[in-house]
Structure 1
Amino acid sequence: MQDKLKINLIQSNTIWKDISKNIQNIQQKINQISEETDLIILPEMFSTGFVIEPEEIAETMNGKSINWMQQIACKKNCAITGSLIIKENNNYYNRLVFIEPSGKIKFYDKKHLFSHVGERNIYTAGSIKKIIEYKGWRIAAFICYDLRFPVWSRNTENYDIALYVANWPKPRINAWNSLLKARAIENICYTIGVNRVGTDGNKMEYIGHSQIINPQGNSIKKSTVTTEDIISTTLYKAEILTNRTNFKFLDDRDKFTFQN
């Protein structure tokens, strides 16, 4: 068990539907990380952009992006995570993949699909909340639109980190900032949000605001640019434990059974 976790957030400009160029671009960013790290986090659909026509670019769990992630995890001796388009059993998933240094894969399929642009008509929703255990830390994995649904994010599992990877557009960036802070406060956990930058194939603009928020709702580190960026920091287990000991708000949380 580690009492601290070194993390790096990659705020990238995703190239529309070009897996090879996106991998190359992110590889260049990762090469800039000179110090040892425990976890590298990429945005939602980091290899393609937020695509609603996945037929020609969907990958498998043995595809190019997964193989590349495994190589990174091994070479850097760290975990790497981000979401991508996966085809499995004739269904398409917006899947967050978490790969450990050993090559072991864990994953979470996005529960809340963005009906506003038709994501729910193309992709299959996940139904299982995923808590990833890594180096003594419990990480709750979420994707973009999940951020708007506090019941799904509710910390009933005593997780340490709520992780949101996203393609969250500029017109709604205020909601992104506010909801990330709310999730940290109500769940007494670190909250990490990793967003992309640039303009996608649908002319939607993204301005980043990738950030890490502590259990009191204060920003530890936030990108100050609307271009590509690497955000690095260290999380401390003691900060979570101190807050939960001094402020036992989770003891009074509502009991409920989640129904799909």
Structure 2
Amino acid sequence: MDALNSLKIVLIQTSIYWENPEKNRSSLSKKIALLITDTDLIILPEMFTTGFTMNPSNIDKNQGEVTLKWMQEIAYKKQTAITGSILFFEDNTYYNRLFFVFPNGTYTTYNKKHTFTLAGEDKVYKAGTKKLIVDYKGFKICPLICYDLRFPVWARNTENYDVLLYVANWPKQRITAWDTLLKARAIENMSYCIGVNRVGVDDPGYEYIGHSATYDTLGNEICFSTNEEILHTTIHKEHIDETRNKLKFLEDRDTFTL
């Protein structure tokens, strides 16, 4: 297929050092340095510099800015976009904020809409209110964060996006929901759906077993892993167009606004 209508994507399924941004950036820098093929987009897990901590005051407030600068340096050096969410402090408020950084260093952001009340995230981090659609190399990408996966109305494809992307810290005991919902989001939105999860055990004792994956518009699995590793996947605009033109399911969407 035409490379101009494709995206080469890297999913980094990694363990995360608890509340240690410097060590996580160093570890990820080494992994990213190993990439020798052309890459259009690198995807990192949710809160990839700290783990899913509910104690953001343990982290220096400037670490979000430091990590953003690191992402910009990676993007420029590798000439690729990079995305993932981090703990970010702004205007005396903590956010679980995703950054999508373009190769030229410019960026756009998404604040997690559905904060995870079971862990008390809603009491620590301010929830976002706006959905983000990123236009990148001819693809429209909708990036969301972890718990957002359980809410199909928020992910509903009213913008005709091409890729639905979730970054997560999704634990082992609920991994069946992760697998099932990623596939469902792909099918119902007739888009590629990519989920990037972490591995390892965090400080509170929760185990993570990855299951990072890519599904096509019909819910077919393209890549999947339970190991700490780098996954490569390529998505094609032609597949999206052919499926939607043939089946036209999105034209039968219920009409309502959120």
- Name the residue aligned to 1:118: 120
Aligned mates of 1:101, 1:239 — CA distance in 2: 25
Task: State the superposition RMSD in angstroms.
Answer: 1.3
Aligned counterpart in structure 2 of residue 46 of structure 1, from 45, 48, 51: 48
Aligned mates of 1:53, 1:133 — CA distance in 2: 34
Aligned structure 1 segments of 4 or more residues deviating by more than 3 angstroms: 58-62
Counterpart residue type for residue 236 of structure 2 = Y
Aligned mates of 1:61, 1:160 — CA distance in 2: 32
Alignment of 1:85-234 (within 5 A): 85-223=87-225, 225=226, 227-234=227-234
* SS of equivalent residue, structure 2 residue 50: coil
- Name the residue aligned to 1:256: 256
- Note the alpha carbon deviations across 1:178-201, whole angstroms, 9 max, x for none: 000000000000000000000001
Aligned mates of 2:161, 2:127 — CA distance in 1: 22
Alignment of 1:28-107 (within 5 A): 28-57=30-59, 59-60=61-62, 63-107=65-109
Query: 1:62 Cα deviation (Å)?
Result: 6.6
User: 1:69 and 1:15, CA in 2 relative to 1: closer, same or farther beyond 3 A?
Assistant: same
Counterpart residue type for residue 239 of structure 2 = E
Aligned mates of 2:28, 2:228 — CA distance in 1: 10
- Name the residue aligned to 2:242: 242
- Name the residue aligned to 2:28: 26
Query: 1:255 Cα deviation (Å)?
Result: 1.2
Aligned mates of 1:206, 1:144 — CA distance in 2: 13
- Note the alpha carbon deviations across 1:211-232, whole angstroms, 9 max, x for none: 1000000000111x3x311000
CA contact (8 A) 2:46 2:145 kept: yes
* SS of equivalent residue, structure 2 residue 167: strand
- Name the residue aligned to 1:8: 10
- TM-score between both structures, scaled by the size of structure 1: 0.96
Query: 1:56 Cα deviation (Å)?
Result: 2.9
- Note the alpha carbon deviations across 1:73-112, whole angstroms, 9 max, x for none: 0000000000000111111100010100110011100000
Percent of matched pairs sharing the same residue: 53
- Point out where structure 2 has 5 or more consecutive residues left out of the alignment: none
CA contact (8 A) 2:64 2:88 kept: no
Aligned mates of 1:95, 1:59 — CA distance in 2: 14
User: 1:59 and 1:241, CA in 2 relative to 1: closer, same or farther beyond 3 A?
Assistant: farther
Counterpart residue type for residue 252 of structure 1 = D
Aligned mates of 1:183, 1:32 — CA distance in 2: 32
- Point out where structure 1 has 5 or more consecutive residues left out of the alignment: none
- TM-score between both structures, scaled by the size of structure 2: 0.97
Aligned mates of 1:162, 1:235 — CA distance in 2: 12
Q: Which structure has more helix as a fraction of its residues?
A: 2
